[in-house]
Amino acid sequence: MTDAKNLTQLGKHVETPQSPEQAVLETVPFQRGDGPPAIVRFTCPEFTSLCPVTGQPDFAHIVIDYAPDKTLVESKSLKLFMTSFRSHGAFHEECTVMIGRRIVEATKPLWLRVGGYWFPRGGIPIDVFWQTGAPPKDAWLPDTGVAPYRGRG
């Protein structure tokens, strides 16, 4: 059984952090084992942040894939982290890269990629991609499952 005694959020009522900087990404131990590394995927199809200039909401479909080494990101803490962006003003690129860097800092994975598929504002969708390097050898990397933006056509 996984040791969860150090978790402060799972199974408890926790208020949404007021900013991504205040959010705590918690981890749990992971036994990687032999063979190719596992790929873990988190999908956040209703991600929201704020435009740093206008304060208007920006919406994205975020896909996070990572190959854990010794720790996993605990999913409730990730949900609280992602939700904390709702009151955070930053450009699409900064939000997407910040998500990847914070998960890497917390988990020290073998590999991570994040794709931010931002919905259009002003008629232009912005897609932002960030990864830590080449994917692990022999890992199965599925397609992100997010179709390119096609408008109303």
Rounded distance, CA 136 to CA 111, Å?
A: 7
Tokens (6 digits) for 143? 């397609």
Which amino acids are annotated as binding site for substrate, given as ranges? 73-75, 92-93
Nearest to 66 by CA among 129, 118, 117, 139: 139
Rounded distance, CA 139 to CA 111, Å?
A: 10
Which amino acids are annotated as binding site, given as ranges? 73-75, 92-93
Q: Give the residues across from 24 on adjacent strands.
A: none
Rounded distance, CA 36 to CA 78, Å?
A: 25
Rounded distance, CA 32 to CA 50, Å?
A: 37
Rounded to a whole number of angstroms, the CA Rg of the chain reads 16
Is 51 a known active-site residue? yes
Q: Phi, psi (5° rounding) for residue 46?
A: -125, 40
Catalytic entry in 44, 58, 65, 95: 58
Is 58 a known active-site residue? yes
Catalytic entry in 3, 34, 51, 143: 51
- Active site positions, annotated: 51, 58
